[in-house]
Amino acid sequence: MTRAETSPSSSNDKPKRPVSIRGVAEHAGVSIATVSRVLNSPELVSPSTAERVQRAVRELGYRPNLFAKSLLTRRSRVIGVSLPDIHGEFYAELMHNADRRACERGYHLLVSSNAHHPDDGPQNGFALDLVDGLIVMLTERVRVDLDAIAGLDIPVTVIGVDPPGMPVETIICDNTIGAARATEHLLVATPPERCFFVGAHVGNLDSDQRATAFASVLRGRGHEPDPRQIAHGEFSFEWGWEWAMERCDEGTLAGSAVLAANDEIAVGIVNAARQRGLDIPRDLRIVGFDDSRICSLLRPELSSVRVPVDEMAREAVDALIRSLEEPGSTPRHIRLATSLVVRDSSRTAPENP
Amino acid sequence: MTRAETSPSSSNDKPKRPVSIRGVAEHAGVSIATVSRVLNSPELVSPSTAERVQRAVRELGYRPNLFAKSLLTRRSRVIGVSLPDIHGEFYAELMHNADRRACERGYHLLVSSNAHHPDDGPQNGFALDLVDGLIVMLTERVRVDLDAIAGLDIPVTVIGVDPPGMPVETIICDNTIGAARATEHLLVATPPERCFFVGAHVGNLDSDQRATAFASVLRGRGHEPDPRQIAHGEFSFEWGWEWAMERCDEGTLAGSAVLAANDEIAVGIVNAARQRGLDIPRDLRIVGFDDSRICSLLRPELSSVRVPVDEMAREAVDALIRSLEEPGSTPRHIRLATSLVVRDSSRTAPENP
DNA sequence: CTGAAAGCGCTTACAG
DNA sequence: CTGAAAGCGCTTACAG
């Protein structure tokens, strides 16, 4: 009684237990069932009783024990997020937007680099056992991930790939449309045989789709791309630099146009080209991918294909919550468009008055 | 029995419950207490019994219900991380490294932009009630955050500020040393009255500390900085651009040197200066702060003060786990050094042969 | 509208 | 070394 009078969370002594539902019930002179009802289904309780209970809750600073609650309801309102070892900015944007959305909807986010591989985790309880559902982002074409996901007994939303026949919600970005627009844009002022795609390693879903779209547009113009027009490396500045230096040294870079698989590769190429005295965009036109923050910070500003990370994050959270809260619903497969953002690095004379 | 024979997680019918400890006990012909012991204190069980139980666990694909477990042990092995609305790359680095470390130590990370303000959350259970402890990053000098933290009844580790008298572990980066080194470096070739600090808003802890260190070094050289030498805006490209444009227009930028409060501001200044025909570093020497990825992607490469985000994340996780697992221990206050990384943007002739 | 009671799945003294 | 039992803090039929 007197203890309730003092500040609820004044740190006086030992690991004192927080007040339980029992304490509230006593304080309000009702049963614990009634306290529970006031908190979860107020409409079942008389207004006056509810009022009394709410006061007790307030005075004691009571907060229900979520573990006890989850044990009963089998719901924690925690969403797991499993991201591959992806790059800084993309990761941040995704998490930030997912967090915001989850928050709005009353959920929390548990992050873990590979939460969908229970065998990889430490022995002490898997993230999987704490979450109601899982958002998994996949970037590689590997069977093992899909198998792991198929083996889970909680709802899953997959970002990045749309595996046919799996009963999960999926969010993908349509790499094809953005890559195609970018390629067409390059072809406006550069002949097909002088266009290049500089990608990541074969097997990366995004890079491969972007490469395919690139090749497909060239073919549409009646040009079968030479294998050397499509290079494979990794998503890094260094790889872009290296690729461009080699082309420079063999004298094939000037007068060409490049679609890079991401912005970092593009920056590597730009820096190497300029180091060799080429002017962007006069001697080399270039378009990156992701439309990351850096694009408008560079001089010349870098053209790029925008990937709607913010929407992807938001849609992923919504999709997962949907399959959590409407168990019967048919999984939706959402595809978000990418779009070309033209800046100085790829402008042609007529476009640049 | 026959059900155990089929694949453990074959999705046959309805929301079937996973096997509980009871199922394992029956399968192995022991009591649930014994199953629990095999899992938590194997040394208390005879090898042969343990073996039998382990087989049952394996065959049934049993995983303990963490909610029931946490209800008893009052431990979830989940760490909450509360970050301010900070910028992309920093956020990503911090989370990535914290995640890796938490994983190594058998913990999970629950993220939330402002987990330390229970009143702000949605009504459905606070993140606070799920986590064993909280890592809070603070960037502003506001009493309200500290009060909120002081009111929490779980262990807290604070990143970014070292509030005196609070019994929490703290991790801060020593802005002073890096900012001082950078200022001294600028003074090597630029007179004190031509040096500028371009910061974020007053009240931001990092920006203020960096400004103070800057001013202090100037004073050490016998120069009391003019108020106009220390500007306040925000951590953005736009602010840097704007500041530099104004200085250019009044003709005071050429021949000066700038320490920016972060890399984005620095890039804004660089771009504006070049647009006005200034050469970096000949006409303007500049050093950023954070040493983000972008520094070495720019031309000229941007000098910057490195902030050890990776170590901060790792230390924060370790510190929190320490106060979780060694409740009596005295809170440690860790200060990690920042360091100057000189690149082309601030090089002086003699340094650049 | 309210309470007594059962039970969620586990851990941990307490006996044996 | 092992089991029966109490109990963690809740929710939810079931009676009244």
Tell whether the model's pLDDT for residue A352 goes beyond 70.
no
Q: What is the nearest nucleotide to A46, using C1' and CA?
A: C1
Rank A108-122, A160-174, A268-282, B129-143 by mean pLDDT and report only the highest: A268-282
Could you tell me the CA-to-CA distances from B195 to A183, B40, B214, B256 in Å, in that order? 46, 63, 9, 6
In-domain check, residue A53: yes
Tell whether the model's pLDDT for residue B125 goes beyond 50.
no
Q: Average pLDDT, whole number, for chain B?
A: 88
In-domain check, residue B219: yes
Q: Do residues A141 and A58 share a domain?
A: no
End-of-domain residue from the set A64, A93, A109: A64
Q: pLDDT per residue over B9-66, tens digit each?
A: 333 334 567 899 999 999 999 999 999 999 999 999 999 999 999 999 999 999 999 9
Strand D contact at CB of residue A71, distance < 7 A: yes
Q: Grade residue A175 by pLDDT with cuts at 50, 70 and 90.
A: very high
User: In whole angstroms, what is the distance from residue A254 CA to residue A248 CA?
Assistant: 7
Q: Tell me which of A23 and A2 has the higher pLDDT.
A: A23
Cross-sheet strand order for the sheet of A195-199: A230-232, A195-199, A256-260, A284-290, A303-306, A339-341
Residue A20 CB partners (closer than 8 Å, separation 6+):
A62, A65
Strand C contact at CB of residue A31, distance < 7 A: yes
Query: Of the candidates A68, A130, A296, which has its C-beta nearest B71's C-beta?
Result: A68
Interface test with B, best of A40, A111, A119 (most B CBs within 10 A): A111
Check: CB of residue B24 under 8 Å from CB of residue B60: yes
Could you tell me the CA-to-CA distances from A330 to A134, A322, A324, B253 in Å, in that order? 17, 10, 12, 62
Distance A160 CA to C7 C1' (A): 42
Tell me the pTM. 0.88
Q: Do residues A219 and A235 share a domain?
A: yes
State the pLDDT at residue B147.
83
In-domain check, residue B69: no
Q: Do residues B286 and B296 share a domain?
A: yes
Rank A80-89, A337-346, B53-62 by mean pLDDT and report only the highest: A337-346
Distance A33 CA to D15 C1' (A): 14
DSSP three-state, residue B348: coil
Q: Do residues A301 and A315 share a domain?
A: no
Tell whether the model's pLDDT for residue A16 goes beyond 80.
no
Output phi, psi for B269, to 5 deg: -65, -45
Output phi, psi for B143, to 5 deg: -60, -40
In-domain check, residue B14: yes
Helix (H) or strand (E) holding B269: helix B263-275
Could you tell me the CA-to-CA distances from A210 to A152, A220, A282 in Å, in that order? 30, 15, 24
> What token pair was written down for A183?
């390629």
Interface test with B, best of A6, A65, A67, A147 (most B CBs within 10 A): A67
Residue at shortest CA–C1' distance from D13: A33
Q: Grade residue B315 by pLDDT with cuts at 50, 70 and 90.
A: very high
Check: CB of residue A74 under 8 Å from CB of residue A45: no
Amino acid at A265: I
User: In whole angstroms, what is the distance from residue B353 CA to residue B350 CA?
Assistant: 6
- Say if the Cβ atoms of A99 and B110 lie within 8 Å: no
CATH number of the domain bearing residue A122:
3.40.50.2300
Tell whether the model's pLDDT for residue A353 goes beyond 60.
no
Residue B130 CB partners (closer than 8 Å, separation 6+):
A66, A76, A78, A108, B76, B78, B80, B110
Check: CB of residue B209 under 8 Å from CB of residue B200: no
Could you tell me the CA-to-CA distances from A152 to A56, A123, B155, B263 in Å, in that order? 42, 18, 33, 43
Nucleotides of C under 7 A from a protein CB: 1-5, 7-13
- Say if the Cβ atoms of A67 and B67 lie within 8 Å: yes
In-domain check, residue B234: yes
Q: How many domains does chain B have?
A: 3
Mean pLDDT of the region A65-71: 94
Distance A69 CA to D9 C1' (A): 8
Q: Grade residue B260 by pLDDT with cuts at 50, 70 and 90.
A: very high
User: In whole angstroms, what is the distance from residue B182 CA to residue B34 CA?
Assistant: 63
Q: pLDDT per residue over A191-227, tens digit each?
A: 999 999 999 999 999 999 999 999 999 999 999 999 9
Find the domain containing B112 and state its range: 78-174+309-335
Strand D contact at CB of residue B49, distance < 7 A: yes
In-domain check, residue B132: yes
Strands A303-306 and A333-337: unpaired
Torsion-angle region of A290 (φ positive above 0: left; ψ -120 to 50: alpha; else: beta): left
